[in-house]
Amino acid sequence: MTERTDILVIGGGLVGASLAIALDAAGLAATLVESAAPRREAPPRYSERNLALARATRNGLRELGVWTHAEASATPIRQIHVSRAGEFGSARLDAASAGVDALGWTMPARELGHALQQRLDACSGLRRLTPATVRSLQADDEGWLVRIEDAEGERTLHARLLVGADGTGSMVREALGIDTDTHDYEQTLFVCTVTPQRPLQGRAYERFSDDGPVALLPLKQDRAGLVLTVSADEAERIAAMDDEAYVDFAQQRFGWRVGRLRQPGMRFAHPIRRVAARRIVGPRAVLVGNAAQTVHPIGAQGFNLGLRDALTLAECVIDASDPGDADLLCAYAARRAPDREGVMAMSHGLVRLACLQQPLLAPLRSLGLLSGAFLPPLRDALQRHGMGFRGQPPRAVLERAP
């Protein structure tokens, strides 16, 4: 027997879960397929993957009812300092000059995942299949037939709209026959936490060099998230370093603005590639989050961009008689294009320009950073884009009066 649902979301990660919550809040008939069962009892760890959430993202999570479960774990970013090693220019973005209390927030990814699970538990109409595996996807004139295996065995669902929120290696994208543009940066990202000698006190740092960017993000208990990029051919050597050698290496790359870095937590390494779908919609189907675009982690735009995908899609389908209507999906894609293309161009261009080994560019880069710091129109645009307000944002992320 075939079961029916209006909207089927494949992928229960941060973006897929957020979309499912938004659809449920709108009273839409939706089903969420999660490959792994929630882990609610996982104990906190000394070193964890951390997220930088733009202000627009905080606003969206607040509208979804998620922020109330996450706020206690969040640390505000009130200033951002951007510089390049060996050059005189720098830029400082400041929440006070933007007229807000914070430009963004940082928090452990596990804590946001836990907050999303708490909110999912409160959904009244959402159907969740977890843990579940998608065995096949088949299109028909009215939607998609999806064969799923879970603890109860195999079942077939028919959805009028199929949403791929299933990550960089998206099965949904493959079923749609959508090609990708892929760029291997030949870099590896190392992330861990450290304790700086001088607390960051709400200031985040982004520092560029010929070897790639390095960032330091404020966290709770005067800890900091260290994000360091190295060339791929150096990754194995860096990974083999003991903690003392690694901190010395990071110190050399970052500098001494916050004193000595100490007490490194566990390191995690991630190869860096950009994977961009050439289309984000197909017949009665749409891609969101990393399934649509996986961007360079510089500027920490991945989840922020994906949440705006999810909230815009929910806004588009809320009053639609047919959520899979071709014109509706085309309108969604057109609305997302300025934000999506702008973020991808920014992250790619910033890496190419700020980390390019060309000394003749140094004065221009320094002047560019100084312009961003002292020219109000440019500074305001940088701050607005950095806070996640680009193109036509979904209504859920817009500022509202206290």
277: amino acid identity, one letter: A
Q: Are residues 264 and 120 in the same domain?
A: no
> What's the total number of domains in the chain?
2
Query: What is the tens place of the pLDDT at every residue in 105-124?
Result: 999 989 999 999 999 999 99
The 8 Å CB, 24+ separation contacts for 68-73 are: 69/114, 69/115, 69/118, 69/119, 70/107, 70/111, 70/112, 70/115, 73/107, 73/108, 73/111, 73/112, 73/115, 73/220
Q: Supply the CATH number for residue 70's domain.
A: 3.50.50.60
Q: Are residues 158 and 48 in the same domain?
A: yes
Q: Supply the CATH number for residue 216's domain.
A: 3.30.9.10
- Structural contact between residues 230 and 355, judged by C-beta atoms closer than 8 angstroms: no
Average pLDDT over residues 292-313: 90
Average pLDDT over residues 85-105: 81
- 92 assigned to some structural domain: no
Q: Are residues 177 and 198 in the same domain?
A: no
Q: Which residues pair with 218 in a beta bridge?
A: 224
- Compute the mean pLDDT over every residue in the chain, rounded to the nearest whole number: 88
Q: Are residues 55 and 162 in the same domain?
A: yes
Q: Are residues 318 and 289 in the same domain?
A: yes
How far apart are the C-alpha atoms of 198 and 202, rounded to whole Å? 12
- What pLDDT does 372 receive? 45
Q: Are residues 126 and 224 in the same domain?
A: no
Q: Are residues 256 and 279 in the same domain?
A: no
DSSP states of 7-65: EEEE--SHHHHHHHHHHHHTT--EEEE-SS----SPPP-SS--EEEEEHHHHHHHHHTT
Angle at which helices 302-317 and 326-354 cross, to 10°: 170
Which secondary structure element, helix H or strand E, spans residue 109, and what is its range? helix 109-121
Of 242, 272, 302, the residue that ends a domain is 272
Q: Are residues 151 and 16 in the same domain?
A: yes
- 259 assigned to some structural domain: yes
- Structural contact between residues 20 and 9, judged by C-beta atoms closer than 8 angstroms: yes
Q: Are residues 282 and 263 in the same domain?
A: no
**R_g of the chain, CA atoms, integer Å:** 21
Is the pTM here over 0.85, yes or no?
Answer: yes
Q: Is the pLDDT of residue 73 over 90?
A: yes
- 97 assigned to some structural domain: no
- What pLDDT does 309 receive? 98
- 84 assigned to some structural domain: no
- What pLDDT does 308 receive? 97
Query: What is the tens place of the pLDDT at every residue in 231-281?
Result: 999 999 999 999 999 999 999 999 999 999 999 999 999 899 999 999 999
| HEC sequence for 307-344 | HHHHHHHHHHHCCCCCCCCHHHHHHHHHHHHHHHHHHH
Centre a 10 Å sphere on the Cβ of residue 399 and count the other Cβ atoms it contains: 12
- 222 assigned to some structural domain: yes
Q: Which of 29-43, 285-299, 366-380 has the highest mean pLDDT?
A: 285-299
pLDDT tier, 24 (very low <50, low <70, confident <90, very high otherwise): very high
How far apart are the C-alpha atoms of 200 and 80, rounded to whole Å? 11
Q: Which residues contact 107 (CB under 8 A, 6 or more apart)?
A: 50, 51, 53, 70, 73, 74, 75
Average pLDDT over residues 197-212: 89
Centre a 10 Å sphere on the Cβ of residue 368 and count the other Cβ atoms it contains: 17
Chain centroid to CA 5: how far? 28
How far apart are the C-alpha atoms of 399 and 219, rounded to whole Å? 24
Query: What is the tens place of the pLDDT at every residue in 165-197?
Result: 999 999 999 999 999 999 998 899 999 999 999
Percentage, residues of the chain above pLDDT 90? 70
- 98 assigned to some structural domain: no
Query: What is the tens place of the pLDDT at every residue in 320-379?
Result: 999 999 999 999 999 999 999 988 887 776 666 555 554 444 444 343 443 444 445 545
Using alpha carbons, select from 167, 162, 168, 132 the residue that is nearest to residue 149. Answer: 132
Enter the tokens of residue 372: 């961003």
- 91 assigned to some structural domain: no
Residue with tokens 């760029």: 183
How far apart are the C-alpha atoms of 282 and 177, rounded to whole Å? 9
Q: Are residues 225 and 111 in the same domain?
A: no
- What pLDDT does 361 receive? 42
Q: Are residues 17 and 41 in the same domain?
A: yes
73: left (phi over 0), alpha (psi -120 to 50) or beta: alpha
Of 252, 272, 292, the residue that ends a domain is 272
How far apart are the C-alpha atoms of 391 and 340, rounded to whole Å? 9
- Structural contact between residues 135 and 77, judged by C-beta atoms closer than 8 angstroms: no
Of 210, 241, 272, the residue that ends a domain is 272
- 372 assigned to some structural domain: no
Q: Are residues 129 and 207 in the same domain?
A: no
The parent domain of residue 248 ranges over 192-272
- What pLDDT does 366 receive? 40
Query: What is the tens place of the pLDDT at every residue in 6-16?
Result: 999 999 999 99
Query: What is the tens place of the pLDDT at every residue in 134-172?
Result: 999 999 989 999 999 998 899 999 999 999 999 999 999
Using alpha carbons, select from 47, 337, 381, 78 the residue that is nearest to residue 202. Answer: 78
